[in-house]
A and B are shown apart, each in its own frame.
Chain A
Amino acid sequence: MTAVLDASTSHLTHDRPALTDVRGIPFTRLARVELRKMVDTRAGRWMLIVMSAISALIVAAMVIWGTPDESTFSVFLGVTSFPLIVLLPIVGIMAATAEWSQRTGLVTFTLEPRRSRVLLAKVVAGVLLGLLVVAASFAAAALGHLLTIALRDTPGDWSMSWRVVLGFVVAMTIFIIQGLGFGFAVLNTPVAIVASILLPTIWSIVGAFPKLQTAATWLDLNRTIDPLMSGSMTGADWAHLGTASAVWIGIPLAIGSWRVLTREVK
Protein backbone atom coordinates (compact mmCIF):
# COMPACT_ATOMS: atom_id res chain seq x y z
CA MET A 1 0.00 0.00 0.00
CA THR A 2 2.78 2.35 -0.82
CA ALA A 3 1.23 5.47 -2.23
CA VAL A 4 2.61 6.57 -5.52
CA LEU A 5 1.99 10.00 -6.86
CA ASP A 6 3.26 10.24 -10.37
CA ALA A 7 2.35 11.88 -13.64
CA SER A 8 -0.66 9.57 -14.09
CA THR A 9 -2.21 10.25 -10.70
CA SER A 10 -1.15 13.82 -10.18
CA HIS A 11 -0.36 16.58 -12.54
CA LEU A 12 1.24 18.63 -9.83
CA THR A 13 4.46 18.22 -11.72
CA HIS A 14 2.81 19.48 -14.90
CA ASP A 15 1.56 22.89 -15.76
CA ARG A 16 -1.77 23.41 -14.10
CA PRO A 17 -4.68 25.25 -15.61
CA ALA A 18 -4.73 28.87 -14.55
CA LEU A 19 -7.35 29.73 -11.97
CA THR A 20 -9.17 31.89 -14.43
CA ASP A 21 -9.37 29.05 -16.97
CA VAL A 22 -11.28 26.72 -14.65
CA ARG A 23 -15.01 27.05 -15.17
CA GLY A 24 -17.55 26.93 -12.38
CA ILE A 25 -19.88 23.98 -11.88
CA PRO A 26 -22.83 24.21 -14.30
CA PHE A 27 -26.25 24.11 -12.66
CA THR A 28 -27.44 21.12 -14.69
CA ARG A 29 -24.59 19.08 -13.27
CA LEU A 30 -25.44 20.10 -9.72
CA ALA A 31 -29.06 19.09 -10.29
CA ARG A 32 -27.99 15.75 -11.75
CA VAL A 33 -25.78 15.08 -8.74
CA GLU A 34 -28.60 15.96 -6.34
CA LEU A 35 -31.00 13.69 -8.21
CA ARG A 36 -28.54 10.85 -7.95
CA LYS A 37 -28.02 11.53 -4.24
CA MET A 38 -31.74 11.04 -3.65
CA VAL A 39 -31.63 7.45 -4.86
CA ASP A 40 -28.08 6.22 -4.26
CA THR A 41 -28.35 5.70 -0.50
CA ARG A 42 -29.87 2.65 1.06
CA ALA A 43 -32.66 4.69 2.65
CA GLY A 44 -33.51 6.50 -0.58
CA ARG A 45 -33.54 3.33 -2.61
CA TRP A 46 -35.76 1.52 -0.11
CA MET A 47 -38.17 4.41 -0.07
CA LEU A 48 -38.62 4.00 -3.83
CA ILE A 49 -38.82 0.20 -3.53
CA VAL A 50 -41.48 0.46 -0.81
CA MET A 51 -43.46 2.96 -2.89
CA SER A 52 -43.38 0.68 -5.92
CA ALA A 53 -44.13 -2.43 -3.86
CA ILE A 54 -47.20 -0.90 -2.23
CA SER A 55 -48.46 0.28 -5.61
CA ALA A 56 -47.82 -3.15 -7.13
CA LEU A 57 -49.65 -4.90 -4.30
CA ILE A 58 -52.69 -2.67 -4.55
CA VAL A 59 -52.76 -3.03 -8.34
CA ALA A 60 -52.48 -6.82 -8.03
CA ALA A 61 -55.30 -6.92 -5.49
CA MET A 62 -57.51 -4.82 -7.75
CA VAL A 63 -56.74 -6.96 -10.78
CA ILE A 64 -57.73 -10.10 -8.87
CA TRP A 65 -60.71 -8.92 -6.86
CA GLY A 66 -61.82 -5.66 -8.39
CA THR A 67 -65.30 -5.24 -9.94
CA PRO A 68 -65.44 -3.90 -13.53
CA ASP A 69 -66.52 -0.41 -12.52
CA GLU A 70 -63.64 -0.32 -10.06
CA SER A 71 -61.17 -1.22 -12.76
CA THR A 72 -61.01 1.88 -14.90
CA PHE A 73 -57.71 3.56 -15.59
CA SER A 74 -58.58 6.54 -13.43
CA VAL A 75 -59.41 4.36 -10.42
CA PHE A 76 -56.14 2.53 -10.87
CA LEU A 77 -54.32 5.83 -11.02
CA GLY A 78 -56.03 6.90 -7.82
CA VAL A 79 -54.67 3.93 -5.92
CA THR A 80 -51.19 3.89 -7.41
CA SER A 81 -50.82 7.52 -6.43
CA PHE A 82 -51.77 6.91 -2.82
CA PRO A 83 -48.36 5.72 -1.57
CA LEU A 84 -46.74 8.62 -3.43
CA ILE A 85 -48.76 11.18 -1.52
CA VAL A 86 -47.52 9.71 1.74
CA LEU A 87 -43.93 8.94 0.81
CA LEU A 88 -42.88 11.62 -1.71
CA PRO A 89 -42.61 14.33 0.98
CA ILE A 90 -40.32 12.01 2.91
CA VAL A 91 -38.05 11.63 -0.12
CA GLY A 92 -37.89 15.43 -0.24
CA ILE A 93 -37.21 15.65 3.48
CA MET A 94 -34.36 13.18 3.31
CA ALA A 95 -32.81 15.00 0.37
CA ALA A 96 -32.93 18.26 2.31
CA THR A 97 -31.75 17.05 5.71
CA ALA A 98 -29.05 14.52 4.80
CA GLU A 99 -26.40 17.22 4.33
CA TRP A 100 -26.88 18.16 7.97
CA SER A 101 -28.01 15.03 9.76
CA GLN A 102 -25.41 12.86 7.99
CA ARG A 103 -23.05 15.84 7.85
CA THR A 104 -22.31 15.33 4.17
CA GLY A 105 -22.70 19.10 3.87
CA LEU A 106 -19.04 19.32 4.87
CA VAL A 107 -18.25 17.85 1.46
CA THR A 108 -21.16 19.22 -0.57
CA PHE A 109 -20.66 22.82 0.49
CA THR A 110 -16.90 22.73 0.08
CA LEU A 111 -17.34 21.43 -3.47
CA GLU A 112 -19.83 24.22 -4.20
CA PRO A 113 -19.56 27.03 -1.64
CA ARG A 114 -22.38 28.96 -3.36
CA ARG A 115 -25.02 27.24 -1.27
CA SER A 116 -28.02 28.83 -2.94
CA ARG A 117 -27.13 26.89 -6.11
CA VAL A 118 -27.08 23.61 -4.18
CA LEU A 119 -30.40 24.49 -2.60
CA LEU A 120 -31.99 25.25 -5.95
CA ALA A 121 -30.45 22.11 -7.44
CA LYS A 122 -32.13 20.08 -4.72
CA VAL A 123 -35.52 21.62 -5.48
CA VAL A 124 -35.12 21.01 -9.21
CA ALA A 125 -33.92 17.45 -8.60
CA GLY A 126 -36.83 16.86 -6.22
CA VAL A 127 -39.35 18.01 -8.80
CA LEU A 128 -37.70 15.85 -11.46
CA LEU A 129 -37.82 12.81 -9.21
CA GLY A 130 -41.44 13.58 -8.45
CA LEU A 131 -42.25 13.68 -12.16
CA LEU A 132 -40.41 10.41 -12.77
CA VAL A 133 -42.34 8.75 -9.97
CA VAL A 134 -45.63 10.15 -11.28
CA ALA A 135 -44.79 8.77 -14.72
CA ALA A 136 -44.12 5.41 -13.09
CA SER A 137 -47.47 5.48 -11.31
CA PHE A 138 -49.21 6.24 -14.64
CA ALA A 139 -47.41 3.25 -16.13
CA ALA A 140 -48.40 1.04 -13.19
CA ALA A 141 -52.03 2.13 -13.47
CA ALA A 142 -52.01 1.46 -17.22
CA LEU A 143 -50.50 -1.96 -16.68
CA GLY A 144 -53.12 -2.78 -14.04
CA HIS A 145 -55.90 -1.71 -16.33
CA LEU A 146 -54.47 -3.70 -19.24
CA LEU A 147 -54.27 -6.78 -17.03
CA THR A 148 -57.92 -6.50 -16.02
CA ILE A 149 -58.90 -6.13 -19.67
CA ALA A 150 -56.84 -9.14 -20.66
CA LEU A 151 -57.50 -11.44 -17.70
CA ARG A 152 -60.99 -10.53 -16.57
CA ASP A 153 -62.62 -9.27 -19.77
CA THR A 154 -63.32 -5.91 -18.23
CA PRO A 155 -64.26 -3.31 -20.82
CA GLY A 156 -61.43 -0.83 -21.31
CA ASP A 157 -62.04 2.61 -19.88
CA TRP A 158 -59.12 4.91 -20.49
CA SER A 159 -61.05 8.11 -20.01
CA MET A 160 -58.97 10.64 -18.21
CA SER A 161 -59.32 14.36 -18.36
CA TRP A 162 -56.18 16.39 -18.98
CA ARG A 163 -57.18 18.35 -15.92
CA VAL A 164 -56.70 15.29 -13.75
CA VAL A 165 -53.32 14.60 -15.31
CA LEU A 166 -52.24 18.17 -14.76
CA GLY A 167 -53.69 18.21 -11.26
CA PHE A 168 -51.89 15.02 -10.45
CA VAL A 169 -48.53 16.35 -11.60
CA VAL A 170 -48.99 19.65 -9.79
CA ALA A 171 -50.09 17.88 -6.59
CA MET A 172 -47.06 15.59 -6.54
CA THR A 173 -44.78 18.55 -7.18
CA ILE A 174 -46.37 20.35 -4.27
CA PHE A 175 -45.88 17.35 -2.00
CA ILE A 176 -42.20 16.89 -2.77
CA ILE A 177 -41.43 20.61 -2.48
CA GLN A 178 -43.32 20.67 0.78
CA GLY A 179 -41.06 17.87 2.01
CA LEU A 180 -37.98 19.79 0.89
CA GLY A 181 -39.26 22.92 2.60
CA PHE A 182 -39.87 21.16 5.91
CA GLY A 183 -36.51 19.45 5.59
CA PHE A 184 -34.62 22.69 4.98
CA ALA A 185 -36.47 24.45 7.78
CA VAL A 186 -35.88 21.78 10.41
CA LEU A 187 -32.64 20.20 9.11
CA ASN A 188 -33.31 17.07 11.12
CA THR A 189 -34.85 14.05 9.41
CA PRO A 190 -37.13 12.55 12.09
CA VAL A 191 -38.34 15.91 13.33
CA ALA A 192 -39.07 17.09 9.79
CA ILE A 193 -40.99 13.90 8.94
CA VAL A 194 -43.09 14.12 12.08
CA ALA A 195 -43.69 17.84 11.58
CA SER A 196 -44.67 17.48 7.93
CA ILE A 197 -47.23 14.80 8.80
CA LEU A 198 -48.42 16.12 12.14
CA LEU A 199 -48.81 19.84 11.48
CA PRO A 200 -51.09 19.59 8.43
CA THR A 201 -53.07 16.80 10.13
CA ILE A 202 -53.59 18.82 13.29
CA TRP A 203 -54.62 21.73 11.13
CA SER A 204 -57.10 19.51 9.27
CA ILE A 205 -58.63 18.46 12.59
CA VAL A 206 -58.71 21.99 13.95
CA GLY A 207 -60.10 23.20 10.63
CA ALA A 208 -63.11 20.94 11.11
CA PHE A 209 -64.42 23.22 13.84
CA PRO A 210 -67.28 25.29 12.41
CA LYS A 211 -65.70 28.61 13.37
CA LEU A 212 -62.55 27.79 11.45
CA GLN A 213 -64.30 26.54 8.31
CA THR A 214 -63.44 29.59 6.25
CA ALA A 215 -59.81 29.56 7.31
CA ALA A 216 -59.59 25.86 6.52
CA THR A 217 -60.89 26.25 2.98
CA TRP A 218 -58.04 28.67 2.37
CA LEU A 219 -55.28 27.16 4.43
CA ASP A 220 -55.77 23.39 4.63
CA LEU A 221 -53.40 21.95 2.03
CA ASN A 222 -54.99 18.48 2.09
CA ARG A 223 -58.44 19.94 1.49
CA THR A 224 -57.41 22.43 -1.15
CA ILE A 225 -55.47 19.79 -3.05
CA ASP A 226 -58.49 17.43 -3.36
CA PRO A 227 -60.16 19.21 -6.29
CA LEU A 228 -56.76 19.33 -7.99
CA MET A 229 -56.45 15.56 -7.92
CA SER A 230 -60.02 15.04 -9.09
CA GLY A 231 -59.61 17.53 -11.92
CA SER A 232 -62.41 19.79 -10.74
CA MET A 233 -60.46 22.95 -10.10
CA THR A 234 -62.35 26.18 -10.31
CA GLY A 235 -60.97 29.71 -10.09
CA ALA A 236 -61.69 29.85 -6.38
CA ASP A 237 -60.04 26.47 -5.86
CA TRP A 238 -56.86 27.76 -7.47
CA ALA A 239 -56.92 30.73 -5.11
CA HIS A 240 -57.41 28.43 -2.12
CA LEU A 241 -54.62 26.15 -3.30
CA GLY A 242 -52.32 29.10 -3.89
CA THR A 243 -52.83 30.43 -0.38
CA ALA A 244 -52.49 27.04 1.27
CA SER A 245 -49.33 26.31 -0.73
CA ALA A 246 -47.87 29.67 0.16
CA VAL A 247 -48.35 28.82 3.83
CA TRP A 248 -47.30 25.17 3.82
CA ILE A 249 -44.55 25.43 1.22
CA GLY A 250 -43.61 29.09 1.02
CA ILE A 251 -43.04 29.63 4.73
CA PRO A 252 -41.00 26.45 5.38
CA LEU A 253 -39.02 27.07 2.20
CA ALA A 254 -38.30 30.68 3.15
CA ILE A 255 -37.18 29.75 6.67
CA GLY A 256 -35.30 26.77 5.28
CA SER A 257 -33.43 28.77 2.64
CA TRP A 258 -32.38 31.30 5.21
CA ARG A 259 -31.12 28.56 7.52
CA VAL A 260 -29.25 26.65 4.81
CA LEU A 261 -27.60 29.79 3.46
CA THR A 262 -26.49 31.20 6.79
CA ARG A 263 -25.96 28.19 9.02
CA GLU A 264 -22.48 27.15 9.92
CA VAL A 265 -21.66 23.77 8.40
CA LYS A 266 -20.18 21.49 11.04
Chain B
Amino acid sequence: MITVENLTKRYGSFTAVDDISFEVTPGSVVGFLGPNGAGKSTAMRMMTGLTPPTSGRSMILCRDYRQLPNPARHVGVMLDAAAQHPGRTGKEVLHLIGMTIDAPKARVEQSLDLVGLTPDEAKRRVRNYSLGMRQRLGLAGALMGDPQVLILDEPANGLDPQGIHWMRQLLRAYADQGGTVLLSSHLLHEVQIIADELVMIGRGKILAQGRKDDLLGAQGTRVGSLDNERLADAVRRAGLELTGDRTGLLVKAAPEAVGRIALEAGIVLTELHTTGSEGLEQLFLSLTAADARDAAAA
Protein backbone atom coordinates (compact mmCIF):
# COMPACT_ATOMS: atom_id res chain seq x y z
CA MET B 1 0.00 0.00 0.00
CA ILE B 2 1.44 3.34 -1.08
CA THR B 3 -0.25 6.61 -0.21
CA VAL B 4 0.93 9.90 -1.65
CA GLU B 5 -0.64 13.04 -0.26
CA ASN B 6 -0.14 16.51 -1.76
CA LEU B 7 3.51 15.75 -2.41
CA THR B 8 5.38 18.82 -3.61
CA LYS B 9 9.03 19.55 -4.37
CA ARG B 10 10.34 22.95 -5.30
CA TYR B 11 13.87 23.86 -6.33
CA GLY B 12 14.00 27.61 -5.98
CA SER B 13 11.29 28.92 -8.29
CA PHE B 14 11.08 25.65 -10.21
CA THR B 15 8.39 23.22 -9.08
CA ALA B 16 9.47 19.71 -9.96
CA VAL B 17 6.54 17.96 -8.33
CA ASP B 18 3.37 19.93 -7.83
CA ASP B 19 0.85 18.74 -5.26
CA ILE B 20 0.38 15.17 -6.41
CA SER B 21 -1.84 12.69 -4.60
CA PHE B 22 -2.59 9.09 -5.44
CA GLU B 23 -2.80 5.66 -3.93
CA VAL B 24 -1.53 2.25 -4.92
CA THR B 25 -3.48 -0.58 -3.36
CA PRO B 26 -2.35 -4.18 -2.82
CA GLY B 27 -2.96 -6.41 -5.80
CA SER B 28 -2.57 -3.70 -8.39
CA VAL B 29 0.10 -2.39 -10.73
CA VAL B 30 0.04 1.37 -11.13
CA GLY B 31 1.85 2.96 -14.05
CA PHE B 32 3.38 6.34 -13.33
CA LEU B 33 3.51 7.90 -16.74
CA GLY B 34 5.01 11.10 -18.01
CA PRO B 35 7.61 12.53 -20.37
CA ASN B 36 11.22 12.85 -19.27
CA GLY B 37 11.59 15.58 -16.71
CA ALA B 38 7.94 15.44 -15.65
CA GLY B 39 8.88 14.78 -12.03
CA LYS B 40 8.40 11.00 -11.85
CA SER B 41 11.84 10.23 -10.47
CA THR B 42 11.76 13.13 -8.04
CA ALA B 43 8.41 11.90 -6.73
CA MET B 44 9.76 8.38 -6.34
CA ARG B 45 12.87 9.63 -4.54
CA MET B 46 10.61 11.48 -2.12
CA MET B 47 8.58 8.31 -1.53
CA THR B 48 11.75 6.43 -0.61
CA GLY B 49 13.26 9.06 1.67
CA LEU B 50 16.12 10.09 -0.63
CA THR B 51 14.78 13.56 -1.31
CA PRO B 52 13.04 15.60 1.37
CA PRO B 53 9.68 16.91 0.10
CA THR B 54 8.96 20.64 0.25
CA SER B 55 5.48 19.80 1.48
CA GLY B 56 3.05 16.92 1.56
CA ARG B 57 3.93 13.38 2.48
CA SER B 58 4.04 9.83 1.27
CA MET B 59 3.40 6.72 3.28
CA ILE B 60 4.28 3.14 2.62
CA LEU B 61 2.35 0.58 4.65
CA CYS B 62 1.00 3.54 6.62
CA ARG B 63 4.48 4.70 7.61
CA ASP B 64 7.02 7.24 6.46
CA TYR B 65 9.64 5.30 4.49
CA ARG B 66 12.34 6.42 6.89
CA GLN B 67 10.38 5.01 9.81
CA LEU B 68 10.49 1.48 8.40
CA PRO B 69 12.95 -0.47 10.56
CA ASN B 70 14.41 -2.52 7.71
CA PRO B 71 12.73 -0.97 4.66
CA ALA B 72 13.91 -3.48 2.07
CA ARG B 73 12.01 -6.26 3.84
CA HIS B 74 8.80 -4.44 2.97
CA VAL B 75 9.56 -2.29 -0.05
CA GLY B 76 11.65 -3.29 -3.04
CA VAL B 77 13.10 -0.21 -4.66
CA MET B 78 14.88 0.26 -7.96
CA LEU B 79 15.36 3.89 -8.87
CA ASP B 80 18.07 3.65 -11.51
CA ALA B 81 19.38 0.41 -12.92
CA ALA B 82 22.46 2.22 -14.22
CA ALA B 83 23.45 3.24 -10.70
CA GLN B 84 25.57 0.21 -9.88
CA HIS B 85 29.25 0.08 -9.09
CA PRO B 86 30.82 -1.05 -12.38
CA GLY B 87 33.63 -2.85 -10.55
CA ARG B 88 31.38 -5.28 -8.68
CA THR B 89 30.00 -8.52 -10.01
CA GLY B 90 26.24 -8.88 -10.28
CA LYS B 91 26.26 -11.56 -7.64
CA GLU B 92 28.29 -9.41 -5.26
CA VAL B 93 25.77 -6.56 -5.64
CA LEU B 94 22.99 -8.89 -4.52
CA HIS B 95 25.14 -10.44 -1.82
CA LEU B 96 25.76 -6.99 -0.28
CA ILE B 97 22.04 -6.26 -0.29
CA GLY B 98 21.27 -9.63 1.28
CA MET B 99 23.92 -9.08 3.93
CA THR B 100 22.60 -5.62 4.78
CA ILE B 101 18.97 -6.62 5.14
CA ASP B 102 19.67 -10.08 6.58
CA ALA B 103 18.01 -12.05 3.81
CA PRO B 104 18.53 -15.83 3.77
CA LYS B 105 21.69 -16.87 1.87
CA ALA B 106 19.75 -18.79 -0.77
CA ARG B 107 17.90 -15.63 -1.70
CA VAL B 108 20.73 -14.42 -3.99
CA GLU B 109 20.41 -17.47 -6.26
CA GLN B 110 16.62 -17.28 -6.10
CA SER B 111 16.56 -13.64 -7.12
CA LEU B 112 19.03 -14.23 -9.95
CA ASP B 113 16.87 -17.09 -11.14
CA LEU B 114 13.76 -15.01 -10.84
CA VAL B 115 15.07 -12.28 -13.16
CA GLY B 116 16.69 -14.71 -15.56
CA LEU B 117 20.37 -13.92 -15.00
CA THR B 118 22.51 -17.03 -15.51
CA PRO B 119 25.25 -17.97 -13.01
CA ASP B 120 27.84 -17.03 -15.63
CA GLU B 121 26.32 -13.60 -16.10
CA ALA B 122 26.13 -13.10 -12.35
CA LYS B 123 29.88 -13.63 -12.07
CA ARG B 124 30.62 -10.87 -14.56
CA ARG B 125 31.26 -7.31 -13.44
CA VAL B 126 28.42 -4.83 -13.89
CA ARG B 127 30.71 -2.80 -16.20
CA ASN B 128 30.14 -5.48 -18.84
CA TYR B 129 26.36 -5.60 -18.45
CA SER B 130 23.93 -4.32 -21.06
CA LEU B 131 21.23 -1.93 -19.86
CA GLY B 132 18.72 -4.77 -20.05
CA MET B 133 20.90 -6.93 -17.78
CA ARG B 134 21.32 -4.05 -15.34
CA GLN B 135 17.54 -3.71 -15.23
CA ARG B 136 17.25 -7.38 -14.39
CA LEU B 137 19.94 -7.07 -11.74
CA GLY B 138 18.25 -3.98 -10.29
CA LEU B 139 14.96 -5.82 -10.12
CA ALA B 140 16.66 -8.80 -8.49
CA GLY B 141 18.04 -6.39 -5.89
CA ALA B 142 14.57 -5.00 -5.26
CA LEU B 143 13.22 -8.53 -4.80
CA MET B 144 15.98 -9.59 -2.36
CA GLY B 145 13.96 -8.75 0.72
CA ASP B 146 10.84 -10.48 -0.60
CA PRO B 147 8.88 -7.24 -0.20
CA GLN B 148 5.15 -6.69 -0.51
CA VAL B 149 5.57 -3.32 -2.22
CA LEU B 150 7.67 -2.57 -5.30
CA ILE B 151 8.72 0.90 -6.46
CA LEU B 152 10.45 0.76 -9.83
CA ASP B 153 11.65 3.72 -11.89
CA GLU B 154 11.70 2.98 -15.61
CA PRO B 155 12.13 -0.77 -15.15
CA ALA B 156 11.38 -1.59 -18.78
CA ASN B 157 13.95 0.88 -20.09
CA GLY B 158 16.52 -0.98 -22.16
CA LEU B 159 14.61 -4.25 -22.21
CA ASP B 160 13.85 -5.86 -25.55
CA PRO B 161 10.21 -6.70 -26.40
CA GLN B 162 10.75 -10.18 -25.01
CA GLY B 163 12.12 -8.67 -21.82
CA ILE B 164 9.16 -6.36 -21.49
CA HIS B 165 6.85 -9.33 -21.90
CA TRP B 166 8.79 -11.17 -19.22
CA MET B 167 8.59 -8.23 -16.84
CA ARG B 168 4.87 -7.90 -17.41
CA GLN B 169 4.39 -11.53 -16.45
CA LEU B 170 6.57 -11.18 -13.39
CA LEU B 171 4.84 -8.04 -12.11
CA ARG B 172 1.42 -9.45 -12.96
CA ALA B 173 2.12 -12.58 -10.94
CA TYR B 174 3.50 -10.43 -8.16
CA ALA B 175 0.40 -8.23 -8.01
CA ASP B 176 -1.95 -11.19 -8.33
CA GLN B 177 -0.40 -12.57 -5.13
CA GLY B 178 -1.33 -9.38 -3.38
CA GLY B 179 1.78 -7.32 -4.07
CA THR B 180 1.66 -3.57 -4.61
CA VAL B 181 3.54 -2.23 -7.62
CA LEU B 182 4.30 1.31 -8.69
CA LEU B 183 6.34 1.61 -11.86
CA SER B 184 7.19 4.61 -13.96
CA SER B 185 7.74 4.98 -17.65
CA HIS B 186 7.95 7.63 -20.32
CA LEU B 187 6.49 5.26 -22.90
CA LEU B 188 2.73 4.89 -22.94
CA HIS B 189 2.60 1.52 -24.67
CA GLU B 190 5.10 0.08 -22.22
CA VAL B 191 2.93 0.97 -19.24
CA GLN B 192 -0.27 0.19 -21.06
CA ILE B 193 0.52 -3.51 -21.27
CA ILE B 194 1.65 -3.82 -17.64
CA ALA B 195 -0.45 -1.51 -15.51
CA ASP B 196 -3.99 -1.75 -14.13
CA GLU B 197 -4.12 1.89 -13.26
CA LEU B 198 -2.40 4.95 -14.65
CA VAL B 199 -1.25 8.16 -13.10
CA MET B 200 -0.17 10.57 -15.81
CA ILE B 201 2.05 13.43 -14.81
CA GLY B 202 3.35 16.38 -16.78
CA ARG B 203 5.48 19.27 -15.50
CA GLY B 204 5.02 18.02 -11.97
CA LYS B 205 1.22 17.96 -12.04
CA ILE B 206 -1.14 15.02 -12.32
CA LEU B 207 -3.03 15.32 -15.60
CA ALA B 208 -5.05 12.13 -15.58
CA GLN B 209 -5.44 9.23 -13.26
CA GLY B 210 -7.69 6.23 -12.96
CA ARG B 211 -8.22 2.71 -14.14
CA LYS B 212 -6.47 2.04 -17.40
CA ASP B 213 -9.63 0.76 -19.07
CA ASP B 214 -11.57 3.86 -18.10
CA LEU B 215 -8.83 6.20 -19.20
CA LEU B 216 -8.30 4.47 -22.49
CA GLY B 217 -12.01 4.10 -23.24
CA ALA B 218 -13.26 7.40 -21.97
CA GLN B 219 -11.89 9.36 -24.82
CA GLY B 220 -14.89 9.07 -27.14
CA THR B 221 -15.69 7.76 -30.56
CA ARG B 222 -13.72 7.85 -33.71
CA VAL B 223 -15.86 8.23 -36.78
CA GLY B 224 -15.18 8.50 -40.47
CA SER B 225 -17.70 9.08 -43.26
CA LEU B 226 -18.03 9.94 -46.93
CA ASP B 227 -18.83 13.53 -45.94
CA ASN B 228 -16.96 14.49 -42.81
CA GLU B 229 -17.81 18.18 -43.06
CA ARG B 230 -21.55 17.62 -43.03
CA LEU B 231 -21.18 15.05 -40.26
CA ALA B 232 -19.16 17.53 -38.20
CA ASP B 233 -21.94 20.10 -38.58
CA ALA B 234 -24.53 17.57 -37.52
CA VAL B 235 -22.49 16.56 -34.48
CA ARG B 236 -22.01 20.17 -33.45
CA ARG B 237 -25.73 20.87 -33.84
CA ALA B 238 -26.35 17.94 -31.49
CA GLY B 239 -24.24 19.79 -28.94
CA LEU B 240 -21.35 17.32 -28.80
CA GLU B 241 -17.70 18.22 -28.53
CA LEU B 242 -15.49 17.17 -31.37
CA THR B 243 -12.01 17.34 -32.72
CA GLY B 244 -10.74 15.88 -35.90
CA ASP B 245 -8.44 15.78 -38.84
CA ARG B 246 -8.68 14.80 -42.51
CA THR B 247 -8.87 11.10 -41.72
CA GLY B 248 -11.75 11.22 -39.29
CA LEU B 249 -13.46 12.88 -36.38
CA LEU B 250 -13.13 12.31 -32.68
CA VAL B 251 -16.41 12.83 -30.84
CA LYS B 252 -16.87 12.95 -27.08
CA ALA B 253 -19.81 10.56 -27.01
CA ALA B 254 -20.60 6.87 -27.28
CA PRO B 255 -20.52 5.27 -30.76
CA GLU B 256 -24.28 4.72 -30.62
CA ALA B 257 -25.04 8.43 -30.26
CA VAL B 258 -22.73 9.31 -33.12
CA GLY B 259 -24.23 6.57 -35.29
CA ARG B 260 -27.74 7.93 -34.72
CA ILE B 261 -26.67 11.44 -35.70
CA ALA B 262 -25.18 10.07 -38.93
CA LEU B 263 -28.34 8.08 -39.60
CA GLU B 264 -30.57 11.11 -39.16
CA ALA B 265 -28.31 13.19 -41.40
CA GLY B 266 -28.23 10.38 -43.95
CA ILE B 267 -24.44 10.16 -44.10
CA VAL B 268 -22.64 6.94 -44.99
CA LEU B 269 -20.18 5.94 -42.27
CA THR B 270 -16.90 4.27 -43.14
CA GLU B 271 -15.59 3.93 -39.60
CA LEU B 272 -17.16 3.98 -36.15
CA HIS B 273 -15.51 2.80 -32.93
CA THR B 274 -14.45 3.86 -29.47
CA THR B 275 -10.95 5.28 -29.40
CA GLY B 276 -8.31 3.11 -27.82
CA SER B 277 -5.32 4.84 -26.41
CA GLU B 278 -5.49 7.57 -29.02
CA GLY B 279 -6.97 10.15 -26.68
CA LEU B 280 -4.45 9.40 -23.97
CA GLU B 281 -1.69 9.23 -26.51
CA GLN B 282 -2.74 12.62 -27.88
CA LEU B 283 -2.57 14.09 -24.40
CA PHE B 284 0.75 12.42 -23.81
CA LEU B 285 2.20 13.56 -27.11
CA SER B 286 1.06 17.13 -26.61
CA LEU B 287 2.92 17.05 -23.30
CA THR B 288 6.02 15.70 -24.91
CA ALA B 289 5.82 18.03 -27.89
CA ALA B 290 5.52 21.03 -25.62
CA ASP B 291 8.88 20.07 -24.24
CA ALA B 292 11.46 22.09 -26.15
CA ARG B 293 14.17 19.47 -25.66
CA ASP B 294 12.17 16.77 -27.37
CA ALA B 295 11.05 19.08 -30.13
CA ALA B 296 14.68 19.91 -30.86
CA ALA B 297 15.69 16.28 -30.71
CA ALA B 298 12.92 15.12 -33.05
Q: B68-96: contact bitstring with A at CB < 8 Å (1 yes, 0 no)?
A: 11111110010110111111100010001
CB closest chain-A residue, reference B76? A110
**8 Å CB contact of A107 from B73, B83, B177:** B83
| Distance A265 CA – B52 CA, assembled complex (angstroms) | 10
Interface: A264 (CB within 8 A): yes
Please tell me if the beta carbons of B114 and A3 are within 8 angstroms of each other in the complex: yes
B48 close to A110 (CB less than 8 A)? yes
Interface residue? B99 (CB, 8 A): yes
Partner of A9, one of B65, B92, B114: B114
The total of Cβ contacts below 8 Å across the A-B interface reads: 131
Q: Which of B85, B88, B99, B141 has the most CB of A within 10 A?
A: B85
A221 to B56, CA, bound (A): 47
Q: With a CB–CB cut-off of 8 A, which chain A residues contact B114? A: 3-5, 9
Report Cα–Cα, A12/B148, bound state, in Å. Answer: 6
Q: How far is the CA of A266 from the CA of B42 in the complex (A)?
A: 9
- CB-CB < 8 A to B97: which residues of A? 107, 111
Select one of B102, B148, B169 contacting A2, CB under 8 A: B169
Give the one of B50, B65, B116, B178 with max A CB within 10 A. B50
Query: What 0/1 readout, one digit per residue, does chain B (20-60) give for beta carbons within 8 Å of chain A?
Result: 00000000000000000000000001001111100000000
* Residue of B87, B170, B178 most packed against chain A (CB within 10 A): B87
Given A19-B61, A22-B69, A12 and B45 contact (CB-CB distance below 8 Å): no
Q: What residue in chain B is nearest A13 (Cβ atoms)?
A: B177
Q: Are A3 and B70 in contact (CB under 8 A)?
A: no
* Interface residue A211 (Cβ < 8 Å from any Cβ of B): no
Contacts of A32 in B (CB 8 A): 99
In Å, the complex CA distance between A265 and B83 comes to 11
CB neighbours of B116 from chain A (8 A): 1, 3
> Chain A's nearest CB lies how many Å from the CB of B179?
6
Q: How far is the CA of A43 from the CA of B126 in the complex (A)?
A: 13
Is there contact, CB below 8 Å, between B49 and A10? Answer: no
Determine which residue in B63, B77, B173 has the highest number of CB atoms from chain A within 10 A of its CB, and name it. Answer: B173
Q: Identify which of A9, A13, A25 contacts B100 (C-beta below 8 A).
A: A25
Known: A16-B148, A25-B101, A111-B97. A103 touches B50 (CB 8 A): no
**Contact indicator A29/B84 (Cβ below 8 Å):** no
B129 within 8 A of A: no
A255 to chain B, nearest CB (A): 19
Interface size class of A (residues with CB under 8 A): 35 or more
Given known A40-B92, A106-B50, A107-B83, contact A19–B72 (CB-CB < 8 A): no
Contact flag A3-B88 (CB < 8 Å), given A22-B70, A111-B97, A111-B100? no
Closest to B127 in A: A42
Contact B45 A264 (CB under 8 A): yes
- Interface positions, chain A 1-50, Cβ under 8 Å from B, are 1-5, 8-13, 16-17, 19, 22-25, 29-30, 32-33, 36-37, 40-44
Q: List 28 A-B contacts (CB under 8 A).
A: A1-B116, A1-B166, A3-B115, A5-B114, A9-B146, A11-B146, A12-B178, A12-B179, A13-B177, A19-B63, A22-B73, A40-B88, A42-B87, A102-B84, A102-B86, A103-B82, A103-B83, A104-B83, A104-B84, A109-B49, A110-B77, A111-B100, A111-B101, A112-B71, A113-B48, A113-B65, A113-B68, A114-B66
Q: With A5-B170, A5-B174, A264-B50 given, can you name 19 additional A-B contacts, CB distance below 8 Å?
A: A5-B114, A5-B177, A9-B113, A10-B146, A16-B148, A19-B63, A22-B74, A23-B70, A25-B100, A41-B85, A103-B82, A107-B77, A110-B50, A110-B72, A110-B77, A111-B71, A111-B97, A266-B45, A266-B51
Which residues on A are within 8 Å of B, measured CB to CB?
Answer: 1-5, 8-13, 16-17, 19, 22-25, 29-30, 32-33, 36-37, 40-44, 98, 102-107, 109-114, 264-266
A-B pairs with lowest CB-CB distance, top 9: A103-B83, A41-B87, A42-B87, A1-B116, A3-B170, A265-B50, A12-B177, A24-B69, A113-B49
